[in-house]
Amino acid sequence: MKPIYLDHAASTPVHPEVAEVMMKVMTEQFGNASSVHTFGRSAKKTVNGARDVIAASLGCFSDEWVFTGGGTESDNLALFGAAHSRKGGHIITTAIEHHAVLHACRELEKEGYSLTYLPVDGTGRVVLEYLEAALREDTFLISVMLANNEVGTVQPIEEIGRLARERGILFHVDAVQALGSVPITLSALPVDYMSFSAHKINGPQGIGGLYVRRGAPLHPRMHGGLQEKGRRAGTENLAGAAGFAKAVELAVKGQTGRHEESLLLRDRLLRGLDQGIGRDAYHINGNPEYGLPHITNISFPGVRTDVLLMNLDMEGIAASSGSACTSGSLEISHVLKAMKLRDEYLNSAIRFSTGLGNTTEEMELVSRKIETIVNRLRIKD
């Protein structure tokens, strides 16, 4: 049986058109974009061409886009970049952010900044009243993700952004998981910084981007050359930038179609589970109204996450326990904990995330395999 990959929220296969563009750059261009000769100018044209395509796709100015080494770097650049532009103060984030934000915030706390980690409701959504209550005189930055990588819950970032703007507070949004699923027009959003990553949208690993609204402060993290207008030193990743631009273009253009496909795939999986183990035998974690269509986080009470994952893997099915960083360990997800799920849901949650190449037939097969495994494991207990 061909292996079935249901871990697209961790990383995605590179789209053939992206690979084609990258191959062309890798084999035909090797200049350094900072060099003044023809080779350098050609490289610069490639990087800036990629920047223009991304800016046009996301509705921002080209000079508002900074290429980085991935989503983690983008998050760090935004948070430290905003914080180090001033001295001290209060930052608000949420308990369900990716570790790229949470661990950066812990570091800022060590540096003397004051942090509030907002709780979420049972579906993983930020409650606006809590946010308002947390605001302080010295609050200068809010960081809330657009969509959660473990349960797919989409946050009310427009409302949060408006609150921030009214008070002159900077607003960072981690959109790494949302790009390609949630429409994004940066010029219309009350957002100052937004993080992106190519490998979540069928682009290459190791390249990302940060939107920095014109006028928003940004103290650089990397010191060296004056690349990216002094905001991110280091020779540009030519092939990565070109591939990322193609991936963004495809993701934005194909958004509606992919949304429908993702819903269909989810529907097949859930219908299969209903017919097999029955609706009472599983629980969906996340928000039924505000959620990414390609991420479905399901708990199977009575079956341990790691055991189910291992059994699925033996059947050639790749799923995950949540964020890639924690999936290697048995640690319970900080996101599910923040949602205050019952213990039996916490210990048995699996994230299925679909994408390029998945079929409805695969989803039917997966539901049947889950039925066999769950029935076997439950009897054993």
Ligand X SMILES: Cc1ncc(COP(=O)(O)O)c(C=O)c1O
Residue from the set 18, 66, 141, 145 that interacts with ligand X by CB under 6 A = 145
Tell which residue, 159, 157, 125, 178, has the closest CA to residue 293. 178
User: Judged by CB, which is closer to ligand X: 75, or 249?
Assistant: 75
Rounded to whole angstroms, what are the CA distances from 129 to 1, 133, 288?
Answer: 50, 6, 21
User: Judged by CB, which is closer to ligand X: 81, or 208?
Assistant: 208
Does residue 64 touch ligand X according to CB under 6 A? no
Give a three-class secondary structure readout of 118-140: ECECCCCCECHHHHHHHCCCCEE
Tell me the C-alpha distance between 88 and 29, whole Å.
45
Helix (H, G, I), strand (E, B) or coil at 220: coil
Considering only residues 281 through 340, tell me which ones interact with ligand X, judged by CB under 6 A.
Answer: 323-324
Tell which residue, 166, 169, 189, has the closest CA to residue 179. 189
Does residue 155 touch ligand X according to CB under 6 A? no
Tell me the C-alpha distance between 327 and 186, whole Å.
32
Catalytic residues: 325
User: Judged by CB, which is closer to ligand X: 72, or 305?
Assistant: 72
Quick one: which segment of 68-76, 125-133, 163-171, 303-311 binds ligand X (CB under 6 A)? 68-76
Considering only residues 74 through 93, tell me which ones interact with ligand X, judged by CB under 6 A.
Answer: 75
What are 64's two structure tokens? 């508002």
Quick one: which segment of 67-75, 124-132, 133-141, 294-302 binds ligand X (CB under 6 A)? 67-75
Considering only residues 243 through 272, tell me which ones interact with ligand X, judged by CB under 6 A.
Answer: none
Nearest distance from C-beta of residue 101 to ligand X, angstroms: 7
User: Judged by CB, which is closer to ligand X: 177, or 354?
Assistant: 177
Nearest distance from C-beta of residue 300 to ligand X, angstroms: 23
Tell which residue, 126, 143, 45, has the closest CA to residue 92. 143
Nearest distance from C-beta of residue 355 to ligand X, angstroms: 13
User: Judged by CB, which is closer to ligand X: 200, or 213?
Assistant: 200
Nearest distance from C-beta of residue 13 to ligand X, angstroms: 15
CB-based closest residue to ligand X: 71
Does residue 374 touch ligand X according to CB under 6 A? no
Burial class (CB in 10 A: 0-12, 13-18, 19+), 123: middle
Angle between helices 16-28 and 238-253 (to 10 degrees): 160
What are 301's two structure tokens? 């009470």
Helix (H, G, I), strand (E, B) or coil at 209: strand
Rounded to whole angstroms, what are the CA distances from 1 to 4, 14, 97, 270, 337?
Answer: 9, 22, 36, 22, 36
Nearest distance from C-beta of residue 195 to ligand X, angstroms: 7
Query: Residue 117 — φ and ψ, nearest 5°?
Result: -105, 105
User: Judged by CB, which is closer to ligand X: 97, or 282?
Assistant: 97
Q: Are 82 and 193 within 8 A, CB to CB?
A: yes
Does residue 71 touch ligand X according to CB under 6 A? yes
Nearest distance from C-beta of residue 205 to ligand X, angstroms: 7
Quick one: which segment of 69-77, 87-95, 216-224, 256-264 binds ligand X (CB under 6 A)? 69-77
Size of the site for ligand X (CB under 6 A): 16
Residue from the set 174, 192, 236, 261 that interacts with ligand X by CB under 6 A = 174
Residue with token string 């983690």: 72
User: Judged by CB, which is closer to ligand X: 155, or 367?
Assistant: 155
Q: Point out which residues bind ligand X (CB under 6 A).
A: 70-72, 75, 98, 100, 145, 149, 174, 176-177, 197, 199, 208, 323-324
